[in-house]
Structure 1
Amino acid sequence: MDPHDIAHRHGAAHPHDATAIANELYRYAELVDAGRFTELGELMEHCTFSYGIQGDPGPSGAAAIAASYRDMVVTYDDGTPRTRHLTTNPIIDVDGDAATVRSTYTVMQQAPDSAMQAIISGRYHDTMKRIDGRWRFTERRFLVDLVGDLSRHLRFELLPQDQPPESEERQP
């Protein structure tokens, strides 16, 4: 028997946990970029969203999350927002069946009749748990650092957030 499997049964992190967790980060980006909001809601069904350093609450539950994305994200004739969410630099800390993840994101967009451009960049602070053998998001906090032209991506104006620089921030 593999010693990693024995450790995993006793609550220790399995070597594959970081990869499985990172794949969930990337799956989120893939589903948003494809405009597959029902599947996105299912992916995030155990998750509570919050925004900014104050943690302003967002939707929770599969149906509410899917509806929220349909309401706020502009989609085009191909059914997508014509974006690429680039999630990078994940820092994954696993403690048994729980994990915290800090990562950065940059969203690129090429809306019809416009050049491709970076429209927003910031950080995700996530909490995840192993539920029924699969890593699932339980909290996602969106922190916005840089904002470009979001008028062709969001149906609302993103207001500046009162956020300290990353170096002064509380650790999740």
Structure 2
Amino acid sequence: MSPETHITNLLHLYAELIDLGQLEAVAALFDHAEVTFGGGRVVHGGAAMLPEWRAFVKIHPCGTPRTKHVITNAIVAVDDGAHTATCRSYYTVFQQTPALPLQAIIAGRYHDTFACVGGEWRFATRDYALVDLIGDLSQHLLLPVPVQTH
């Protein structure tokens, strides 16, 4: 499998796990990563990410956030010699709850870097601060999120 496919699969695995409400598994994807949030706040590693998601993401009685993260427009650039890669992608999050009809609730961009260690690609950095469009987040987030629109 090509590095580009591995990296794209990581993006999609993230979306799948977060939509299933498997926050521990999502956090594990970032065990070796540095994550930047709005306001420039930086968190290091999956162990630090897990309480972030638990504090922010509303899990509904079904055990999920009742969302569908759709990740598109992935532009992957691999540096074979350095065993690293960059990826810019778009995300759109859809949600439906008993209180909210199906709709897009937020859209933006992920800027990620990846490292290949021991033949396995993993997240190295993620920038969560690139929010472009905000809708009704009342059924998704427990706390307001500082965002920087670009």
TM-score by length of 1: 0.81
Matches within 5 A, 1:44-83: 44-52=30-38, 56-83=40-67
1:52-131 equivalences under 5 Å are 52=38, 56-96=40-80, 97-131=83-117
Alpha carbon RMSD of aligned pairs, Å?
Answer: 1.5
Inter-partner Cα distance in structure 2 for 1:84 and 1:75: 13
Q: 1:20 & 1:105 partners in 2: Cα distance?
A: 18
Asked if residue 161 in structure 1 is aligned to residue 142 in structure 2, the reply is no
Q: Aligned equivalents of 2:26 and 2:47: distance in 1?
A: 10
- Please state whether the residue corresponding to 1:110 is helix, strand or coil: strand
- Count the aligned residue pairs: 147
Task: Please list every run of at least 4 consecutive aligned residues from structure 1 whose deviation after the TM superposition is greater than 4 angstroms.
Answer: none
**Structure 2: any 5+ residue segments left out of the alignment?**
none
The aligned amino acid for 1:99 is A
Q: Is the 8 A contact 2:85 2:113 kept in 1?
A: yes
Q: Using the alignment, how far apart are the partners of 2:26 and 2:121 within structure 1?
A: 15
Aligned with 1:140 (options 126, 133, 147)? 126
- Point out where structure 1 has 5 or more consecutive residues left out of the alignment: 1-14, 164-172
Offset of residue 114 of structure 1: 2.1
Aligned to 2:20: 34
CA deviation after TM superposition for structure 1 residue 151, in Å: 1.0
Which structure: greater strand fraction?
Answer: 2
Percentage of identical aligned residues: 44
What TM-score do the two structures reach when normalised by structure 2? 0.92
> How many angstroms apart in 2 are the aligned matches of 1:157 and 1:66?
17
Larger Rg: 1
Task: Tell me what 1:152 maps to.
Answer: 139
